[in-house]
Structure 1
Amino acid sequence: MRHSRLDFEYRGASQSDARPLLVCFSHLRWNFVWQRPQHLLSHASERFDVVFVEEPIFEAGAMARLERKRIGPSLQLLVPVIDPADAHEAVWILQGLLAQELDALGHTTRIFWYYTPAAIAFTSELPRDLTLYDNMDELSAFKGASDTLVAQETALLGQADLVFTGGHSLHAAKCDRHPNIHCFPSSVDAAHFARARGSVTADPADQAAIPHPRLGFFGVVDERFDADFLDELADLRPDWQFVILGPVVKIDPAGLPRGPNIHWLGPKSYAELPDYLAHWDLGLMPFALNASTRFISPTKTPEFLAAGLPVVSTPIVDVVRSYGEIGLVEIAETPIQAVLAAEALMARPREPWLTQVDTRLAGGSWERTWADMEAKIMAALGIPILASYSPPLRETA
């Protein structure tokens, strides 16, 4: 790791030579599903110049290049494009492309922010002043994960100056593997989802004809989604309607249940979600209990709550610990338990439950989470934070 002279003042100035460069390496596409990386890096771009590097796209006959897209004044997307014939040299190609790009940007200070340990293969030799690993998921447990991810994560932890985890379970699993690790669970843009309260928005056209009660899920439908659980729920209550929003990835859509009361409405933008949730009666989180969900901390939990929707979830550890034990989310191990919990929730008055929800969510905004993270980043860099900077707003593990 390179240690440059940190000879600029941290004022959030607009000039690139007065702002740190934050380079994020992600396994997620920026335009896939709006979640943790997009929230945090959007906040980061207020004081940093942010470059979001996606995984490469392989295009037959392509000349190796980086495609650029400006997302905001201080946030740009880089997508490597490589000919499949050169895949065996992808590490060297990516390293060369990035080295040239980052040098051309000319920043005094570089921060490398990793979501995927796989990126260590082509970045380990590139100079930077701080290496940060935001461990939001246990990627090695996901379907189709490379066998090399575990070794790559070990290498990344060895290089990292600072490690964040996306939930308490991940923190507990990794806390003895790094001396400077901090837990930052899923946060929420409460104002965005609060639009769903009161059903003041028009029911979207593809949902309007669906009867009530409506129980809904939004998010990626993959190996973490328990399709059998949903299928049995739908059979147990044929008069209930189950609305599923989100892309289907890594699993065969033909294997998903297709009962008359199950409605697969496909992906929706982050901006659209409150319009759908405003017309649901209950939030449903039918996560499978397997290796891929052992450490998850679903962002949709506080988002459902901010929308004012009661929630039934399968017993995901971080959901139980953060929301189930204090009565904000009902936990159900089996479909019949989920039915009984849902019946009770839909019959229960929303107050004083909503008051408890709002109290719990008040300390968990993405803005506050980023403020805490940023303070730790600047401390690790040894850069004094000026008085105009907001201090950390909560203690992290």
Structure 2
Amino acid sequence: MADWETKYQQLVEQYGERQREVEKLHQLLKEITSSRWFRLASFYWRLVGPKKASGGSNPHIPAAPPDPSAGMPEAENANQVAALVPQQAPAPVKGERGERFDVLCLPIIDWDFRFQRPQQLASQFAKRGHRVFYLSQKFHTLGAPFTASEKTQLVWEVSLKGPKRNVYQDMMDDETAYAYFEAVDALRREHGLGATAVIVQLPFWWPLARLLHQRFGWPVIYDCMDYHAGFSTNRPEMLQQEDELLAGCDLVVVPSKFLQDHTQKHNPRVLVVPNACDFEHFAKVPHRPPANPPTIGYYGAIADWFDSDLVADLAELRPQWRFLLVGSTFTADTTRLSRLPNVELVGEKPYGEIPSWVAQMDCLIIPFKRTPLTDATNPVKFFEIMAAGKPLVSVPLPELAPYNDFVSFAENPEEFARQIENALRANGPELVSVRRAFAQQHTWEKRFEMLIPHVAAAFPKVSIVVVTYNNLDLTRQCLESVLTRTEWPNYELFVVDNGSTDGTPDYLWELASKDSRLRVICNPENRGFAAANNQALRLAEGEFLVLLNNDTVVPRGWLSGLVRHLSAHPDFGLVGPVTNWIGNEAQISVGYKRPEDMPRWAQDYVRRHDGEFFDIPVAALFCAAMRRDTFLRVGELDERFGAGMFEDDDYAIRVREAGLRVVCVEDVFVHHHGKAAFKQMENAQYQELFERNRKLFEAKWGKPWVPHRYRSQ
């Protein structure tokens, strides 16, 4: 037994020597990669393109695209189509990214159709720096997985490759859903969609949205704008699918009380966001006295819910009045209207022209039939008409009842005629100003402010835990990178300080006073790595838990990548990224020297290695993520290891004993300075701690500790 102990001690010493030798070689490699000739060679290598790497448990790897920093030509105009073809370098979807999450809109209408709530809210996301990918209802069966056409700054309309379907009448079967999913997955890979909110506006899209949620962890928000049972074209299967969408989505958004009551039968998470107006667009309508004879107007859809007979009766009752009706007449019976000489049906007009048509109208009307469909309506045009300063007479829709100071109600032709005459007589400049002041309180900007915190909260919550012990400069770099580059919007950041004496606590409290996401715990003494992490994990509220060392720096997409893998793979218990410095197989060679170059390099690396992962003996806890249910099954970190070392070896064994996998993912990268806390120790002290914890580990598990290996070993 004594001989065995001696030989084992010799092996451990040899391993320590090998580790120190590897660190020296790593330092030499860093010096080489920082040289001018290496940077020139790297630039050439990016131009000619490296050969695709092989390996990994999931070998689905797209062709390596060029480094975005090499410069790409700008689009010649805003409507230029960038067709992204497999096996070719993709045209980049550009835009400021920072910490803003992306938006994928599965819409009820195409972008260039009538400009209403879908486009207005998408535009508000873009104005706040979110990239918006607005799917087209036109699909293609040949060519690229998707095409992207820029509609306005940070908004692209995207056509998916897949079976052609009518989104209003057809159902999306599993084969079609997977075809569309593969096209969206190509969009994600090529343009780095990380944290992404999926906004669904039509039940047709639910099978695709459900796949995106399951595979990427993206939240599904259902913006339910209509009472779909009220449409004559909707089939029972579509209504059944809406019930599934309502029950399965993370948030329901509705514009009316009627829809709130309807949708809450399926989902308690319902937010009322009424419609609104683009104030500047409609406020440019000039005020003028009513014409004689007056023009009575309407704009919007002239469909089967539009009461054509009511308007025809009114036109016959007041033959001297001009009736100007602007909008598509699809599904409406306009037989009587088209025969009346004082009625003009001018058809659908572009959104940009609507104010000029409204300017011709002296009084506007909303002549809807009273049905469950219209009772559920919160009319966009009400707020727009108020911005234009025009008087309005409407049938008594429930959503307009609170605004009886701004709209007159009528139910038959005679009442409409009387209310219109009253409105025309009272329409002075004072009332115009009152209406416009009201409209300024009901803009799409204000509606967006109501919506955005709830969309952010629909993302699964993540709890990040950082333990600090001195090293203030490294801590500052770490926390600033997390707070400015993490586009996943719903997270809490615990920082547990273990008795730092270099000003770290003061810095943390000051930072926490400026950012509500930060939660600080200050210990009077060094409680050790495991104990400090456990303090925060006991308080954590997240569905996902992440341990992160304070000597790390993260790029955009780091957190969404970890969540994506944990969402897609229920058998993954503990997941860690690749890095530039760690003592095992997660360490890779990197092509950057300066910290500011890391995010660009990491973006290119993870795109080339998208979907790759492998089982690893130990996921080092410099950065590791797990689901809450894994933590509840496995338990807290073992505090017997004191200041640190071997708690990650221990936890990896416990995760596997729980029947789960320990995995390193190649498509998430985190920079690691390495051994920041332990560098503060003397070599003898470090070696003593190593030996103590090794013996504790071996005594606990009844077997010798197996030294970690690098990829080349």
- TM-score scaled by structure 1? 0.82
Alignment-mate amino acid for residue 348 of structure 2: P
The whole-number CA distance in structure 1 between the counterparts of 2:179 and 2:336 is 39
Query: What is the rounded CA distance, in whole Å, between the counterparts of 1:30 and 1:254 in structure 2?
Result: 30
Label 1:199 to 1:82 Cα distance change in 2 as closer, same or farther (>3 A).
Answer: farther
User: 2:211 matched to which residue of 1?
Assistant: 125
2:417 to 321, 325, 339: 339
Q: C-alpha displacement at 1:144, in angstroms?
A: 0.9
Partner of 2:146: 66
Q: Determine if the alignment matches structure 1 residue 27 to structure 2 residue 124.
A: no
Query: Is 1:353 aligned with 2:431?
Result: yes
Residue of structure 1 in register with 2:176 after alignment = 90
The answer to whether the Cα contact below 8 Å between 1:187 and 1:302 also exists between their aligned partners in 2 is yes
Mapped partners of 1:71, 1:219: distance in 2: 22
In the other structure, the counterpart of 1:212 is 293
CA distance in 1 between partners of 2:114 and 2:106 (Å): 16
**Between Structure 1 and Structure 2, how many residues are aligned?**
363
Q: Which has the higher contact order (CA 8 A, sep 6+)?
A: 1
Q: 5 Å matches for 1:182-197?
A: 182-197=271-286
Structure 1 residues 69 and 256: CA distance shift in structure 2, 3 A: farther
Measure, in 2, the Cα distance between the counterparts of 1:181 and 1:72: 30
Q: Over residues 270-323 of structure 1, what are the superposed CA-to-partner deviations in whole Å (9 max), with x where a residue is unaligned?
A: 22111121221101111111232120111001111111111011121112x232
Q: What are the superposed Cα offsets for residues 105-159 of structure 1, whole Å, 9 maximum, x if unpaired? A: 2222121101112101233112343211111111232131232222222211222
- For the pair 1:77 / 2:157, whether they are aligned, the reply is yes
C-alpha separation in 1, matches of 2:157 and 2:361: 35
1:308 has 2:389 as partner: yes
Match of 1:395? none
The C-alpha deviation readout for 1:225-244, integer Å capped at 9, x for no partner, is 11111110111000001001
Q: CA deviation at 1:15?
A: 4.8
Structure 2, unmatched stretches of 5+, are: 1-93, 462-488, 492-511, 517-713
CA distance in 2 between counterparts of 1:250 and 1:81 reads 30
Identify the match of residue 55 of structure 1 among 126, 131, 137.
Answer: 137
| Structure with the largest fraction of helix | 2
From 163, 173, 185, give the equivalent of 2:252.
163
Where 2:236 maps in the other structure, the secondary structure is coil
Alignment correspondent of 2:369: 288
Once residues 424 and 349 of structure 2 are traced to their aligned partners in structure 1, the CA distance between those partners, rounded to angstroms, is 25
Deviations 1:199-245 (A, max 9, x none): 59xxxxxxxxx973100000111112111111101110000010011
Structure 1 position 138 matched with structure 2 position 227: yes
Displacement of 1:33 after TM fit? 0.4
Q: What does 1:170-319 align with in structure 2 at a 5 Å threshold?
A: 170-199=259-288, 212-251=293-332, 256-319=337-400
Check the 8 A contact 1:70/1:76 in 2, yes or no. Answer: yes
Picking from 41, 63, 68, the partner of 2:122 is: 41
Greater alpha carbon shift after TM alignment, 82-91 vs 71-80: 82-91
- Under a length normalisation based on structure 2, what TM-score does the superposition of the two structures give? 0.47
Tell me, in whole angstroms, the C-alpha distance in 2 between the residues paired with 1:103 and 1:131. Answer: 20
1:281 and 1:346 in contact (8 A); partners too: yes
Q: Relative to structure 2, which stretch is displaced further, 297-306 or 120-129?
A: 120-129
In structure 1, distance between residues paired with 2:95 and 2:143: 33
**Which stretch of the first structure deviates more once superposed, 295-304 or 131-140?**
131-140
Corresponding residue SS for 2:449: helix
Cα distance in 2 for residues equivalent to 1:105 and 1:316: 44
Shift of 1:260: 0.2
Distance 1:62 1:83 in 2: 10
* 8 Å contact kept, 2:188–2:194: no
State the alpha-carbon separation in 2 of the partners of residues 40 and 349 from structure 1: 32
Matches of 2:364 and 2:333 in 1, distance apart? 24
Does the Cα contact within 8 Å between 1:52 and 1:76 map onto a contact in 2? yes
Contact kept in structure 2, 1:16 and 1:106, CA below 8 Å: no
Q: Cα RMSD over matched residues?
A: 3.0
Counterpart of 1:158, as a letter, is A
Does the 8 Å contact 1:223/1:292 carry over to 2? no
Q: Residue 246 of structure 1: CA displacement? A: 1.2
Relative to structure 1, the CA distance from residue 120 to residue 292 in structure 2 (aligned partners, 3 Å threshold; closer, same or farther) is: same
Q: Deviations over 1:307-364 (max 9, x none)?
A: 1111011121112x2322xx21011111111011111111114354334423432321
Q: Distance in 1 between matches of 2:433 and 2:341?
A: 36
Match of residue 90 from structure 2: none
CA gap of 1:144–1:64, structure 2 versus 1, over 3 A, is farther
Query: Is the CA contact (8 Å cut-off) linking 1:56 and 1:81 kept in structure 2?
Result: no
Query: In the alignment, which residue of structure 2 is the partner of 1:7?
Result: none
Instruction: Confirm or deny: 8 A CA contact 2:197 2:221 kept in the other structure.
Output: yes
Counterpart-to-counterpart distance in 2, 1:231 and 1:258 = 9
Q: Aligned partners of 2:96 and 2:285: how far apart in 1?
A: 39
- Larger deviation, residues 178-187 vs 123-132: 123-132
Separation in 2, partners of 1:189, 1:352: 21
1:375-386 matches, within 5 Å, as 375-381=453-459, 382=461, 383=489
Structure-2 residue corresponding to 1:364: 442
Amino acid at match of 1:288: K
Contact 2:256–2:378 (8 Å) recurs in 1: yes
- Aligned partner of 2:72 in structure 1 is none
Contact preservation (8 Å) 1:227, 1:257? no
The answer to whether the Cα contact below 8 Å between 1:63 and 1:83 also exists between their aligned partners in 2 is no
Deviations 1:38-61 (A, max 9, x none): 11110101321111113245x7x8
